[in-house]
Structure 1
């Protein structure tokens, strides 16, 4: 009994894991930025005490020089292989009383520096995280301190931490050794905001593993689906063969019915067409005697075909204002309907009407075209459309 219960539990867990895997989807978290441009803006601190990595390393009050506003800017290009190149410009001030080059500074001095650095992303060794990028950097630069310049060889380390694909923070420390004999060394720390652009992304290692699992699950799912499809197709084929004969019979009957219906519609439309349209005089909705006789014949046709319903569409010619012509066409359709319903006794449920103004001219006689009265008259009409029969 225990063995049986264990088997059921195992199979349930397996089914749950498989169905859960089936729902795996790649998300933005499965991709990492592999190359980009990075623009940075931040603060810098300079320790130029002559022994910045010795006893004075943490003598912040005595040796660190900093400004209360952003004082460094950088632009860099970082590549898929982990290498990056960066240019950094910074400004600072050496305060009076700070230790500089091993002595107490007695005059406030401006500090300018420009540095070119090559970096290597340590994630290429320790593995991508997507949000934390430690790096090593080395390069060269030039510092101008109170009009005294020095070329430096630089090396250091730092890291970026990213809030999303574009925005993050940068922290780094860089040692600067004077190349000229007798020059002292500096230690420059910086922290700031960084912005990535020109981004290229690829799947991370975990993303690739997830993609592989998704593809494997899809392969299994496709195999199962293919087997079910083959079985279903065989069943449907048997049903289809049985249904085709019946379908053919029903199709023949339906076609015969449609042919008869279409012939009847065509006959009715031809009879209505033979009666013609109702035409009106200029600026009039009055039904003259010939067109009352036409409507009398139409009423007889509707009495002979009790299921026949019609739509009356009335129109105006293009002369006159559009609003007036719309109003006039609506009067014409009302006059036509009133005669058929009120005079001839046709049920109102079998008739609908719509006035179209001058929007559906029967010929070229628009506002920009001269036409004789004989052509304009063809547009002042009520015509009839079969809706149901």
Structure 2
């Protein structure tokens, strides 16, 4: 199959686009979890030493925790990055720890119930793989050091995911008492196992960029394919029009040739018809000088037209017997043909036929009185074209 140069260029563009598309295919890494329900179970550490924002890592004197699961949360996270979460926690202030700038003299229970709104920072940073940082604000109620208080909360944390469902949740929450006269502020750290369900996945920002690029590539591939199809269709149309043009030209040439041939034949017929007939005298088969001049013109035409074949038909008038007139017409035909052959025309190009008095050109039959001029019109040899 012959392929035009434009089609080859389009094929090359299509191959390049397909090759590039393979390099930017979407992978599992391009998908992210966008919305889900979340449950966490873990432990919490409370720093209520009174200088919790000054000595964040005062483990020995300031941190309180219990050796068993002490924190549970349930939350719903949405595609826009926002999440709502309810958190319940239990702890125990240990004897000997610093609580509100004083040494705690006995173990005291800690209870907390908090609600918060968080925001996934990956919505700003872009998808960072397993690392999922977030910030949040909220409010709650805490019973700590035998003092109940409402709190304003702020949280900073991150989750790290091992699969679409399981991960770890690590956070630090600052809790500011609503009534600062009777209660102090404190920090609560949390670490737990996170499980998410009813997961809805979508593309990351990078994945969306890839998808947009792939869609653009697909459009370009379709455009190239359409261009190839249009080019091939244009080529087929051009070829069909060329064939139709050639056929029309051939038909016109054939028509012109036929018309020219027909005109040539008409011209030859006119030449033959314009010669007239050879006319004989009464009871004579001999050619006069005028007859020979006429036959010489016939010979000239036959020399010019090598494919021309003639038949001589000879006739008589009605006077005399039919038998005699038949014989006489044969003699007239033979003498006419013999003269033409004597001028170099081949015998196979001229023949003759005698009709006697059977083909009169007027009403001068037996018993009809006619003038000599009328009878003379019947004493003739005619030229009939057999082949051109």
Q: What range is the shorter-chain TM-score in?
A: 0.5 to 0.7
Paired with 2:21 and 2:138, the residues of 1 have a C-alpha distance of 49
The equivalent of 1:60 in structure 2 is 59
1:121 equivalent to 2:120? Answer yes
Q: Which runs of 5+ in 2 are unaligned?
A: 1-12, 240-388
Q: CA deviation at 1:59?
A: 1.4
Helix, strand or coil for the counterpart of 2:182? Answer: coil
Output the CA distance in 2 between the equivalents of 1:227 and 1:221. 10
Distance across 1 between alignment mates of 2:216 and 2:153:
49
Q: How many Å separate the matches in 1 of 2:184 and 2:205?
A: 45
Shift of 1:186: 1.1
Shift in Å, 1:173: 0.4
Instruction: Report 1:1-389 matches (<5 A).
Output: 18-23=17-22, 24-54=24-54, 56-145=55-144, 147-180=146-179, 181-229=181-229
Quote how far apart the aligned CAs of 1:130 are: 4.3
Q: Distance in 2 between matches of 1:225 and 1:16?
A: 11
Structure 1 residues 17 and 62: alpha-carbon distance in aligned structure 2, compared to 1, 3 A threshold: farther
TM-score, normalization: structure 1?
A: 0.52
Shift of 1:148: 3.3
Higher CA-based Rg: 2
Contact 1:177 1:183 in 2 (8 A): no
Is residue 51–residue 185 contact of structure 1 (8 Å, CA) maintained in 2? no
| Cα distance in structure 2, aligned partners of 1:68 and 1:107 | 18
CA contact (8 A) 2:71 2:90 kept: yes
Deviation at 1:121, TM superposition (A): 1.9
Q: Post-superposition shift, 1:190? A: 0.5
Cα deviation 1:128-175 (Å, max 9, x = unaligned): 334322222111111223643222221121111222222221111011
Counterpart Cα distance in 2 of 1:213 and 1:161: 30
1:64–1:17: structure 2 CA closer, same or farther, 3 Å change rule?
farther
Query: Are the aligned partners of 2:14 and 2:224 in contact in 1 as well (CA < 8 Å)?
Result: no
Count of residues in Structure 1 that have an aligned counterpart in Structure 2: 225
In structure 2, distance between residues paired with 1:196 and 1:171:
15
Asked if 2 retains the 8 angstrom alpha-carbon contact of 1:116 and 1:141, the reply is: yes
TM-score normalised by length of structure 2: 0.53
- 1:229 deviates by 4.9
Distance 2:25 2:143 in 1: 54
